[in-house]
A and B are shown apart, each in its own frame.
Chain A
Amino acid sequence: MGVFADKAAAGWPEGAGEASQTRRRRIRGKAWRVVIRFSTVFGLLVLTTLLYNVVNSTWGYVAVRDRLSEPLIVLLEHPHVTHAERRVDALKDVDGDPDAVVVLASELVPAGTAGYRVLPVGTQQTALALTALVSEDNPFLWELDESGLLALLAPGGRWSDLDGNWPADTVSVVFVVDNKGVLSRWAARQDLPNLDSLGTAELLGVLETHLSAGLIRRYDREQPMAGRNRANLLALVEERVKEPEILATFTLRESLVQADEIRAFADAEGAEASFHSWLTPGFLVRPQSANAALSGIRTALLGSLWVIAITICFSVPLGIGAAIYLEEFSSRNWFGRIVETNINNLAGVPSIIYGMLGLVIFVRALTQITSGSLFGIVSADEASGRTILSAGLTLGLLILPVIIINGQEAIRAVPDSLREAAYGVGCTRWQCVRWHVLPMAVPGILTGAILAVSRALGETAPLVVIGAATFISVDPTNLFAKFTVLPIQIYQWTARPQAEFRNIAAAAILVLLALLLITNATAVLLRNRAEGQRI
C-alpha cells in the first residue's frame, strides 16, 4: 500500500490523466508487439531468401558460344580444304599474334575496295598470293554462299572466277579466328550443314584434324578409336573440338523476366541462349572437371560418404560409451565432474582448432597409420596423411562432445524407477544399463548422434586445414585415398571468379541441403517415435 501512496504523491496521474496515460501505455505495447512480431518473421525471411538465392542460381539461361561452330567444323572437313588450312591451331597463330592481325588488317583497309588484296603472309607464302581475311573489318565474305566459298577454297581457284572485276590471282585463305568468334558466326551464316550430317569416318577425320597425335593415342589406349560408335565420337568432337564456352549465365529470375533481352544479348555475341538446369542426374555422377558445364560432384559425394562412415564408426560408439559412463557410473566422483566440465568446454572450441589438432596428430604424427604405409598400402616415401581416414577421425573428435552431451540428456530422461527395479531384481550395473536403460534411451541417443553427424556432414573448415585435395577426379576406393567432400567442393567453386562455377556451387548446395534434410528428418522421426514410447 505504501508504495502506491508514494507513487500517488510523486505525481501518479488520476482521472483524465490516468486514462490518457493508460492509452499511451497500451499503444506503446501494441507498437512493440508489431516490432517483436516482425523480428520473428525475420528468421523465416532469411531462410526463404537463402533458399531463393540458391534456387535462383541453380536454374536459368546460359549463353554458350562454341570455340568452333558446327558448320565451321564441317566446312573445314571439306575435301577442298587442304590439311594445313584445317589446322585451326595454325590459323590461331595469326590470332594469337596481334601484330600479325594488325598487319593483315592494315594492308586490307588501304585497299578500300571489297577487302581483298594480294598479301604475302609469312615466309612460306609464295605463289599463292591472295588472302581473304575474315574479320569485323572485312565482312565481304559473309555474303558468300557455300558454292561460292567452295569455289574460293578449291585449290588453284582464282578471284576472277567468282567475279570478273576481281584480279585473276590464286586464292589462299587465312582465317583470323578472333576471340569474338567472328569466324564461327560467319560460318553459321552460310547455311552449312551441322555435325549430324557427318558419319563415323568423317567424325574420325575431324578428331584427327583438330587433336594432337598424343591425345589421340591416349584415347586410343582407353578404347580403340576405330571401334568406337558414332555417339561416342560425336561426344568427343563436342568436348574437344567444338568446346562450348559459357559466355554468361543468368539467374532464374532474370530468365523469367528478361528472356528477350537475354536472347538479344546472345545473338549480338554470336552465342546461343538456352534454359539450363545445373542440377541434373549427370551432375551427380560426373567427376570433377575444369569445365563447369561438364563438372559433377561424384568424387565429392563419394568422399563425403566415406568420411562420414569413418566419423560414425569412430565417434558414435565412443560418444555413447562416454555418455553412459558419465551418467551411470561416475556422476558423483571427481573424474566425472572433470570430464563433464571438459566436455562443455570442448563443445565451444571452434571447429578450425579441431582441424589443426587433426593436422598435427592424424596427418603428421600418425602418418604411418593414416596413410596406410604401415599396412603396405602405399610405400613409405610417398606416404601422406591427408587421407579419408584422417578426415573422418578429425570430424569424429569434433562431434564427440555433441554426441556425449545429447547422449547424456537421453540417458537422464530414463526414469529412475526403471533402474531401481533392475537393481531390485539383482542386476549388476552393466546389466542394468545394457538391458534396461539403453533400450529406453536408444532413440534419444540416436537422435542426438544423427544431429551431430549431420553437423559433420556440413563441416568445411577443419577439412580444409588438414588438407583436402583441390582437384581429384578418381573415385576414392579405400580409407587411405586422397579426399574431397561436398562442402569443400562448394567452397572451392564459390571461390572461383567465373560465374558458371557459382551456378554449380548452388546446385551442389541443393544436393548438400537435401542430404542434410534426409538425415535430420530421420532424427525427427526417431524423436517422435521415442516420445510416443515414453512412460
Chain B
Amino acid sequence: MSIKPGAEVLAGGLGMEVGARQSLTKRRRPFEQFMHGALWLCGAISILTTIGIVYMLGQEALLFFRREEVRLLDFLTGWTWQPQTLQFGIWPLVNATMGASLIAMALALPLGLLIAIYLSEYAGSRARRVLKPILEVLAGIPTVVYGYFALTFVTPILRNLFGIEVVEIFNIASAGLVIGVLVLPTVTSMSEDALRAVPLALREAAVGLGATKLETSLRVVVPAALSGISAAFIVAMSRAVGETMIVAVAAGAGPRNFPGWGEALGGLKALNPFQSAETMTGHIVRISGGDISYDSLDYDSLFAIGLLLFLMTLGLNIFSRAVARRFRERYD
C-alpha cells in the first residue's frame, strides 16, 4: 500500500518538539528492518524457485544434448523414441500430448463456454449458488482419481461403443476426454468472469433493440468478452498439456513410434485416438517411477522432455496473458 507511516502527524498532534519529531522519524528500528528483510526473503524464494527450475532443466538438458549419441536435429524431427537403441525423436511423445490435449479441448471448449454463458446470463442466483460449488468440487478432485475414472469407466464405454478390436485398453481418447472434464472448471470459471465483466449497459442496449436473450448472449456479450474467453482456453490448454496422472494411468505405457514422417502421417496412423500412446508427461512419470540411475542417458533425456514441456506451458501462459491484455475491449 502506498500510505506512508504518519509519525510526524502523531508527533505534531502530541505537541512534541521539533527535535523529538526528527529523532522519531529517523529512529533506527532493528526489528522493523529485520521483518522487512525476512518478508523480502519470502518473496525472493519464488524468484529462486523459477531460477531453480530454469537452471536445472537447462543444465540437465544441456548434458543430454552434449552427449555424442544425441543429435539435436534428430531430437526435434525424429518419430522414434527408443532409448534402448539410442533413438531420441520427440515427436511420438509430442504427438500423443497434442492429441490428448486437443481431444480435451474439443470437449471442454464448447461445454465450458456454454456452462459459463448459463451461469453468467441465464442462471438465477440460486442456481449459481448450487452450481458453482459443484464445479469447485470437480476442480478439487485429485487427478489420479480422474485417471482411475478414465481407465475403469470411460475406456469400457468407448470399447463398447466402437468395438473392442478398434479401441485398445489404454488409449488417448479416454485420457483426453477425462482431461477435458478436468479442465472444464478452469474454462468455465475464467470464461464466466470474463462474461460477467461485460457492462450491463451492453446487454440493455441489445435487449432494447429487440434482441432475444440468446442473441444478446451470443452476439453481444460473448464477442465483448472474447479476450477473456480466449485466455481461458489457452490456460486450459496449458493445463491439459501438463496433465500427468490421467495419461499415466489411462493412455498407455510406451511411445507410439514410427520410422519417419511419411509412415506417421500416411493413413493418419499417428492420429488414431483409440490406440495407446505415451505422452511427454506420461513418459517422465513412467521412467522416473522405475529404478533409474542418475547420470544415465535415460535420466538426462527426461530433462530434455521436461524442458520442452516447460517451454510449451510457459509459452501458452504468457500467450494467454498477452491475448487477454491485447484484445481487451474497454468500456469506460
Interface residues in chain A, defined as those with a beta carbon under 8 Å from any beta carbon in chain B: 25-26, 28-29, 32-33, 35-37, 39-40, 42-44, 46-47, 49-50, 53-54, 57, 317-322, 324-332, 335-336, 338-339, 342-346, 348-357, 359-361, 364, 397, 400-401, 404, 416, 419-420, 423-430, 432, 451, 454-455, 457-461, 464-465, 467, 487, 490-491, 494-495, 502, 505-506, 509, 512-513, 516, 520
B284 & A352 in contact (Cβ 8 Å cutoff): yes
What are the interface flags for B234-246 relative to A under an 8 Å C-beta threshold, 1 for contact and 0 otherwise?
0100110111110
Which residues of A sit under 8 angstroms from B29, Cβ to Cβ? 428
B50 & A345 in contact (Cβ 8 Å cutoff): yes
Which residues of B sit under 8 angstroms from A430, Cβ to Cβ? 31-32, 35-36
Interface size on B (CB < 8 Å)?
Answer: 95
Kindly provide the distance from the CB of A230 to the nearest chain B CB, expressed in whole angstroms: 41
Determine the distance from Cα of A427 to Cα of B131 in the docked complex, in whole angstroms: 44
Query: Can you spell out 11 A-B residue pairs with CB atoms less than 8 angstroms apart?
Result: A43-B138, A318-B42, A318-B45, A322-B45, A330-B43, A353-B310, A357-B49, A426-B9, A457-B142, A461-B248, A491-B249
Q: At the interface, is chain B mostly helix, strand, loop or mixed? A: helix
Interface residues in chain B, defined as those with a beta carbon under 8 Å from any beta carbon in chain A: 1-7, 9-11, 29, 31-32, 35-36, 38-47, 49-50, 52-53, 56-57, 60, 110-111, 114-115, 117-119, 122-123, 131, 134-135, 137-138, 140-149, 151-153, 181, 184-185, 188, 212-215, 218, 235, 238-239, 241-245, 248-249, 281, 284-285, 288-289, 294, 302-303, 306, 309-310, 313-314, 316-318, 321
B281, closest chain A residue (CB): A352
Kindly provide the distance from the CB of A413 to the nearest chain B CB, expressed in whole angstroms: 13
Which residues of B sit under 8 angstroms from A336, Cβ to Cβ? 43
Task: List 19 other contacts, CB 8 Å, given A352-B281, A424-B6, A516-B140.
Answer: A33-B214, A53-B152, A324-B39, A324-B42, A327-B1, A330-B43, A331-B2, A338-B47, A350-B281, A356-B302, A360-B56, A460-B143, A464-B288, A465-B289, A491-B249, A494-B151, A495-B249, A505-B148, A513-B141
Determine the distance from Cα of A428 to Cα of B42 in the docked complex, in whole angstroms: 20
Supposing A335-B43, A343-B46, A350-B281 touch, asked if A357 and B10 sit within 8 A by C-beta, the answer is: no
A331 & B248 in contact (Cβ 8 Å cutoff): no
Kindly provide the distance from the CB of B51 to the nearest chain A CB, expressed in whole angstroms: 10
B306 & A29 in contact (Cβ 8 Å cutoff): no
Determine the distance from Cα of A318 to Cα of B146 in the docked complex, in whole angstroms: 31
Determine the distance from Cα of A354 to Cα of B122 in the docked complex, in whole angstroms: 40
A346 & B281 in contact (Cβ 8 Å cutoff): no
B214 & A28 in contact (Cβ 8 Å cutoff): yes
B115 & A26 in contact (Cβ 8 Å cutoff): no
A339 & B56 in contact (Cβ 8 Å cutoff): no
A325 & B39 in contact (Cβ 8 Å cutoff): yes
Determine the distance from Cα of A477 to Cα of B218 in the docked complex, in whole angstroms: 59
Contact residue among B45, B50, B152, B316 (Cβ-Cβ distance under 8 Å from A502): B152
B3 & A461 in contact (Cβ 8 Å cutoff): no
Contact residue among A57, A332, A420, A465 (Cβ-Cβ distance under 8 Å from B284): A465
A461 & B245 in contact (Cβ 8 Å cutoff): yes
Determine the distance from Cα of A326 to Cα of B44 in the docked complex, in whole angstroms: 10
- Kindly count the residue-residue contacts between A and B in the assembled complex, taking CB atoms under 8 Å apart: 276
Determine the distance from Cα of A330 to Cα of B42 in the docked complex, in whole angstroms: 12
B1 & A351 in contact (Cβ 8 Å cutoff): no
Kindly provide the distance from the CB of B81 to the nearest chain A CB, expressed in whole angstroms: 17
Supposing A32-B214, A46-B138, A516-B140 touch, asked if A345 and B314 sit within 8 A by C-beta, the answer is: yes
B292, closest chain A residue (CB): A467
Determine the distance from Cα of A57 to Cα of B122 in the docked complex, in whole angstroms: 37
A454 & B309 in contact (Cβ 8 Å cutoff): no
Determine the distance from Cα of A70 to Cα of B2 in the docked complex, in whole angstroms: 81
Supposing A29-B212, A460-B144 touch, asked if A352 and B46 sit within 8 A by C-beta, the answer is: no
Determine the distance from Cα of A325 to Cα of B249 in the docked complex, in whole angstroms: 41
Contact residue among B52, B123, B181 (Cβ-Cβ distance under 8 Å from A357): B52
A455, closest chain B residue (CB): B140
B111 & A426 in contact (Cβ 8 Å cutoff): no
Contact residue among B1, B6, B53, B181 (Cβ-Cβ distance under 8 Å from A416): B1
B36 & A516 in contact (Cβ 8 Å cutoff): no
Which residues of A sit under 8 angstroms from B144, Cβ to Cβ? 458, 460, 487, 490-491, 494
Kindly provide the distance from the CB of B3 to the nearest chain A CB, expressed in whole angstroms: 6
A351 & B244 in contact (Cβ 8 Å cutoff): yes
Interface centre among B52, B140, B142, B313 (most CB of A within 10 A): B142
Contact residue among A37, A322, A495 (Cβ-Cβ distance under 8 Å from B42): A322
Kindly provide the distance from the CB of B1 to the nearest chain A CB, expressed in whole angstroms: 6
B50, closest chain A residue (CB): A342
Kindly provide the distance from the CB of B106 to the nearest chain A CB, expressed in whole angstroms: 14
Interface centre among A39, A326, A428, A506 (most CB of B within 10 A): A39
Kindly provide the distance from the CB of A30 to the nearest chain B CB, expressed in whole angstroms: 9
Supposing A353-B53, A353-B310 touch, asked if A342 and B114 sit within 8 A by C-beta, the answer is: no
Which residues of B sit under 8 angstroms from A351, Cβ to Cβ? 242, 244
Which residues of A sit under 8 angstroms from B215, Cβ to Cβ? 25, 29
Which residues of B sit under 8 angstroms from A355, Cβ to Cβ? 288
Kindly provide the distance from the CB of B189 to the nearest chain A CB, expressed in whole angstroms: 11
B243 & A424 in contact (Cβ 8 Å cutoff): no
Kindly provide the distance from the CB of A56 to the nearest chain B CB, expressed in whole angstroms: 9
Determine the distance from Cα of A182 to Cα of B300 in the docked complex, in whole angstroms: 54
Contact residue among B1, B49, B148 (Cβ-Cβ distance under 8 Å from A397): B49
B281 & A461 in contact (Cβ 8 Å cutoff): yes
Determine the distance from Cα of A339 to Cα of B45 in the docked complex, in whole angstroms: 9
Which residues of A sit under 8 angstroms from B143, Cβ to Cβ? 458, 460-461
Supposing A29-B215, A321-B38, A349-B314 touch, asked if A429 and B245 sit within 8 A by C-beta, the answer is: no
